[in-house]
Amino acid sequence: MTNLIISSNRENGAFIEQLLHEISTGPIVTASSGNEARRLISGDTRPDLVIIDTPLSDEFGQDLAEITAVDSVGVVLIFRKDSSENIPDNLPQNVAILKRPFSREEFRNTVENFPEIAGIKPESADILTKIEEMRLINRAKCTLMEYLDFTEPQAHRYIEKQAMNNRRTRRETAEKILDTYKK
């Protein structure tokens, strides 16, 4: 599970990273502005959890939260209590709000219980897992298309055939392909 922390305040960003290390074993990527975060997300970084510590140096962060919520499993938007009037009512379902200052326990509860906070039902969590698997397989297809000049159907067939021949899942096969070509 890849985590992305976006904070223009170094102290806040370091604190959030420390808290996240306590509860997550996945890699943590940091950005100091909305533009930097957008570049990371449009590149190879596919975060499962995005934490936005508002306000950012180049924008407030609400628009970024709405955009990243489309491609991410969840977004935690951190506001100061005195700026809570800026919190919109129509945020996507997978955006959780955390008001600063917050305790370690509040942070832990927000991140660990994110599916319940975001209103994601267990069936939806399964769907989100499948979507993540599809993203991984599509990245592997793109890699095969780039490095071996496969067409999309050829890349799809190759992954299917390798999975069957090696008695692996398509996900495991896609991960192996990405490990092989993305060194």
DSSP, residue by residue, 53-77? ESSPSSS-SHHHHHHHHHHSSEEEE
For the stretch 118-163, pLDDT in tens is 444 455 566 777 878 888 898 899 899 999 999 989 999 999 999 9
More confident residue, 183 or 47: 47
| C-alpha to C-alpha distance for 50 and 28, rounded to whole angstroms | 10
The mean-pLDDT minimum among 27-31, 81-85, 166-170 falls in: 81-85
**Any residues with CB less than 8 A from the CB of 165 and at least 6 apart, and which?**
none
For position 36, what pLDDT does the model report? 92
- The pLDDT tens digits of the residues spanning 78-115 come to 988 776 566 666 777 788 888 888 888 888 888 877 65
In angstroms, what CA-CA distances link 115 with 45, 67, 74, 130, 141?
21, 19, 8, 15, 29
